Chain A
């Protein structure tokens, strides 16, 4: 992977949906990932996609992939205070190393 871009900040009201967007440039990307980092902790894998999967859903999380536009999004339904964290998008191309975006800091307000 080469460049992975994300917006840096997102503020959302508790109970609303959050949408975090990511774009990647490497057309050979084979896997795409979302990680969550809580304050002072390591990164926790949330979800992964093969690069030919359009949508994946897991409880409150929905991942949408637009392969043509190289755009990946993570939607969190019914956002809770525990969802406040930094979310990283990453892609893996044929060299098996991950390239990470800068991370989107999600703040959930009451």
Chain B
């Protein structure tokens, strides 16, 4: 079955460490997104990519980095510059505007990674 997979489900980071969250999709979607979710604050966009080898900053990109070397993969690195990284991170994908069929079913989400600083 096609889907989007995030790993690991739980991740612990020590102060000053960089950590990388994995996101892989086999839906043949062009666009991929990373969101951060904190209690009571909804979803905030970190980075997004609409095509391979290209990505743009979202609303809260500081302290994060991404790469998009393959269509299927969009890993997120939480760097030591991110001062408050404890949160639930969600990855999503969607068809791009260029390739979208007339009916678009929105984003498909992964099951999330919970990152905790210890």
Interface residues of A (CB under 8 A from B): 8, 31, 33, 35, 40-45, 48, 88, 90, 92, 95-98, 100-103
Contact = CB atoms under 8 A, between A and B. Distances in A.
B110 A42 contact: yes
B42 A92 contact: no
14 contacts: A35-B109, A42-B90, A43-B92, A43-B109, A45-B106, A45-B107, A88-B42, A92-B106, A96-B100, A97-B45, A98-B106, A101-B42, A102-B41, A102-B42
Contacts of A48: 104-106
A97 B108 CA distance: 13
Nearest to B91: A42
A43 B94 contact: no
Nearest to B48: A97
A42 B96 CA distance: 21
Given A8-B40, A90-B106, 5 more contacts: A40-B114, A48-B105, A96-B31, A96-B50, A103-B42
A44 B4 CA distance: 12
B111 interface: yes
Contacts of A101: 42
A6 to B, nearest CB: 9
Given A31-B106, A43-B109, A48-B106, A102 B40 contact: yes
A96 B97 contact: yes
- Chain A CB within 10 Å — which of B40, B41, B106, B107 has the most? B106
B109 A44 contact: yes
B25 to A, nearest CB: 12
B98 to A, nearest CB: 9
